[in-house]
Amino acid sequence: MLKESFLKYLQFEKNYSEKTVVSYGIDLSGFEAYFKAVDETLDFATVDADVIRGWVVSLMDEGYAASSVNRKLSSLRSFYRYLLREKVVSVDPVRKVTGPKKKKPLPVFVKEADMDRLLDAECGTDFESVRNKAIVAVFYETGIRLSELIGLKDANVDFSAGTIKVTGKRNKQRVIPFGEELENILQVYLSARNEYCHTECEAFFVRKEGKAMYPGMVYLLVRQNLSRVVALKKRSPHVLRHSFATAMLNNQAGLEAVKELLGHESLTTTEIYTHTTFEELKKVYQQAHPRA
């Protein structure tokens, strides 16, 4: 009855979708089946934190991912908050239970040799080809985000100082240096843009009609360009940002410097790239060392 009344509460008072309510029901039924197998005298009102921890361990042993276990645990938390509100229980047994930590996947990146092949290859001389190469180069050589690239104005690119000023998350601005190679690519792009567009442009990177680009368009052109050199499942602007960070660290850049260039608030966020570079180091070791 407790389970059924909770599901009705979700459906009629919380207005949850039928699919969500069914998912909650499956999670609660799975937990009930577990604790009945442990001790048939138990019910939802008498289980304790140890029983719930045992359930979590059993789910992990069955091969459930941490995200799936945490979702099931979230269903249980909602259920016991409801039982507390209804005064069915006086203590929430889930309160002291911690779910398994999600394993963070390593960032996907393109190897330096592949990026060299892409950027050193001959491209067309038409406006779109020149623009697309410039966009890929900016992502890879500055590490900026997709939203930051779309928001670039002509005034943000200072060729005399060799810097790009971007506005990142929470409107925080930062200045990123760039080298002679990227300067040349950008100058070629601007020359093509000024020849092609006879109206005032809304942004630094524009479409044929001089209007600012939109995220889906940039995403697609990056994907198409990366497809020429890699077969990665992910081929997005963010992969180029990961590639920038990885290349910097592989070439002895300091972690703090990479943090500032990427615009990260915390050094912890940047540290994930050290795991990426270590994975590369392991591959080199395994390929090169005769006893590996």
133, 193, 241, 259: the active-site residue:
241
169, 172, 275, 282: the active-site residue:
169
169 is a catalytic site residue = yes
Supply angle C-alpha 62, 64, 68, rounded to 5.
Answer: 150
Supply angle C-alpha 36, 42, 48, rounded to 5.
Answer: 110
Quick check: helix, strand or coil at residue 159?
Answer: coil
34, 80, 82, 273: the active-site residue:
273
Ramachandran area for residue 63 (φ above 0: left; ψ -120 to 50: alpha; else beta): left
Alpha helix stretches (DSSP H) within 39-173:
49-61, 66-85, 112-120, 127-142, 146-150
Q: How far apart are CA 124 and CA 292, in angstroms?
A: 45
53, 71, 111, 145: the active-site residue:
145
* Tokens found for residue 183: 């300067």
145 is a catalytic site residue = yes
* Tokens found for residue 200: 């005032």
273 is a catalytic site residue = yes
Cβ neighbourhood burial of 117 (10 Å; 0-12, 13-18, 19+): middle
189 is a catalytic site residue = no
Partners of 166 in the β-ladder: 174
Within 13 Å and on the Cβ side, how many CA atoms surround 37?
Answer: 10
Catalytic residue list: 145, 169, 238, 241, 264, 273
